[in-house]
Structure 1
Amino acid sequence: MINLFLVITVAGIPYSAFAQTNQSVYPKVMGYVGILHPIVSYSKGAPVYNFDGYYVGGLPTGINIWKNGKIGFSAEFVPFVRAEKGTSKMSNFLFHPGVLVALGNGFTFAGRAAFETSGRYGFTPVLNKIVKKNRQSNWFVAIPVPFRFGNDHPATITIGFQFGILF
């Protein structure tokens, strides 16, 4: 009878009690910094390439707040520097809030609104991929595709490349 009691008791213990779990606690707050290189912009005229007579680069810094493992909020701040003819200056500042959607396998989609000090506004879909995981940080690459309007300029679409570290 005691053996039957032990079998029933041991069989009733969930196996997960013996397994170690790596569950995250939500909400989860993460920060990141990176470097953004716009590659080419398209508008009514011919394409305009970065590095062709000038260089514009951005330094995105942001905070991600994950509600759960699938969806979160992000606020990104990007000062842009333009170097041309031997001189450089801060040319624009971008406030970039948005939603994050985890796609699996290290991919994340960010859908961002865009508000620039240049008077332009729009939205930016971004596809992000974690390429190297570390214990306290992750390295990522991203392809942002900004759509911009306003300030008496034609609408533009740009393709860029971004990389950085998430911590």
Structure 2
Amino acid sequence: MSFKRILFFTALLIGFTSFSQTTYPKIVGYFGIMHPIVTINEDETTVNFRDYYAVGFPSGINIWKNEKIGFSFEIVPNIKEDQGTSKVTNLLFHPGVLVALGKGYTFAGRAAFESGGRYGFTPVFNKTIIKNTSYSYYVAVPLPVRFGNDHPASFTVGFQFGIAF
């Protein structure tokens, strides 16, 4: 094999391996739609789509320190339609820690600070379902726990889907 061919294949190999490596920190933006399914507190159980319609629009930035751990900054405006009236009911500030669990699964442990006066935490289990080079689609199950503002503590199960880029 000639020197030129060796040099060509070496450059080709280096080029292919550099495309497969990820540089950290890695920044990923995302946007989604979140539907709370059921909310439970000591006084009542309410169901979205039956008792009212509520939807949130989480958007944020994930900053991955390495392939296993990162930080996320998320803002979620929430809209509620009830008895013919709809309005923005809340703005959620939702920072948190990301932990990659492998095989497309991620855990997000988020603090929650709502403009409506509630606070708490939200564990989120996320799964990338379609991954491309420039974007990916995901589904997630957020489990918000909230306190404060003269309301009983509550627990919600939600469903979220979206796109990351």
TM-score greater than 0.5 by the shorter chain: yes
Query: 2:33 — aligned with what?
Result: 35
Query: 1:56 — aligned with what?
Result: 54
Q: List aligned pairs for 1:9-158, cutoff 5 A.
A: 18=13, 20-21=16-17, 22-158=20-156
Count residues with an aligned counterpart. 152
Separation in 2, partners of 1:44, 1:162: 25
Query: 2:3 — aligned with what?
Result: none
Q: TM-score, normalised by structure 1?
A: 0.87
Separation in 2, partners of 1:111, 1:99: 5
Cα RMSD of the aligned pairs, angstroms, is 1.5
Unaligned runs of 5+ in 1: 1-14
Partner deviation per Cα, 1:4-31 (whole Å, 9 max, x = no partner): xxxxxxxxxxx9x947321100000010
Q: TM-score, normalised by structure 2?
A: 0.88
Moved >2 Å (runs of 4+): 17-21
Partner deviation per Cα, 1:28-87 (whole Å, 9 max, x = no partner): 001000000000011103321111231010000000000000000000000000112222
Partner deviation per Cα, 1:112-142 (whole Å, 9 max, x = no partner): 0000011000000000000001221000000
SS at the partner of 1:119? Answer: coil
Query: 1:9 — aligned with what?
Result: none
The alignment-based identity, stated in percent, is: 61
SS at the partner of 1:128? Answer: strand
Q: Decide which structure has the larger Cα Rg and report it.
A: 1
